[in-house]
Amino acid sequence: MARYTGAVCRLCRREGQKLHLKGDRCYTGKCALDRRPAQAPGQHGKGRKKMSEYGLQLREKQKARRYYGVLESQFAKYFDMAVTKKGVTGENLLQILESRLDNVVYRLGFAMSRAEARQLVSHRHFTVNGKPVNIPSYLLKAGDVVALKEKSRSSDKFKAVMEANGSRVPPKWLDLDRNAFQAKVVNLPAREDIDLPIEEHLIVELYSK
C-alpha cells in the first residue's frame, strides 16, 4: 500500500495551517506550526511570494489530499467519481473522501489520527456489516455498520484511545454506540456536516483546466 512516509509536520507548515496529522500532539506546544507559524519548510520558506490563481487552486487540492492521507492518483480517481455522480462535484468529492473507512474510524474516535486509523484498518481490527475489512480506502454506504472486532475490544490500546476521545462528538451522519464499539452510517455526509476548511470549488477549477 503506497503512502507518504516523510515528516508530517512539514506538510502542515507547507499548507500554513494544522492538518491534525499527529493526533493529540497537534494540540500541544510541540506542534511545529505553533513554533514556526509563518515559515514554510525548506531554505526558501521565508521568502514565500503571493500565489497565482493556479497556485491557490493547487494548494487547496494538496491540502485536501493531505487531510485525508490520499495520494495523487487516488485523489484524481475520486474526482472522476465525483464528476459522474449527481449533485455538486466539489461536495461529491468531499463526501467520497469522508466515506472512506479509515476516515470513519477516525471520526468515531477509535484512532487519534487518520494515519493511525489507516494502520488499524490494515491490521484487520474492524468489520463492516460483520465481515473483516482491511482496506482503508473502502467506501462505506448509508446503512453500513462499522464495528471493532470482539478480540480487539479488550486491548489496552483501544481502551486508552476511547478514553482519550470520550468527549469527542461524532458527526451526526454516524450513529455511534460506544458500549457496543460500533456505529451505523445513517447517511452520507452533506457539505455542512464536513468541518474541514476546504474550498472545494478551487479543486474543481483546477481539474477543469
pLDDT tens across the length of the chain (209 residues): 455 555 665 555 555 665 556 555 545 555 555 556 555 655 555 555 678 999 999 999 999 999 999 999 999 999 999 999 999 999 999 999 999 999 999 999 999 999 999 999 999 999 999 999 999 999 999 999 999 999 999 999 898 998 999 888 999 999 999 999 999 999 999 999 999 999 999 999 999 98
- Bridge partner residues of 100 (DSSP): 139
What CATH code is assigned to 100-188?
Answer: 3.10.290.10
To the question of domain 1-49 being in CATH 1.10.1050.10, the answer is: yes
Contact of 61 with 76, CB cutoff 8 Å: no
* For the chain, domain boundaries: 1-49, 100-188
Q: Alpha helix (H) ranges present in 39-140?
A: 53-68, 72-84, 89-98, 101-107, 114-122
61: which 3 cell numbers? 487540492
Distance CA 159, CA 153 (A): 7
b/e sequence 98-118, b meaning 16+ C-beta within 10 Å: bbbbbbbbbbbbbbbbbbbbb
2: which 3 cell numbers? 503506497
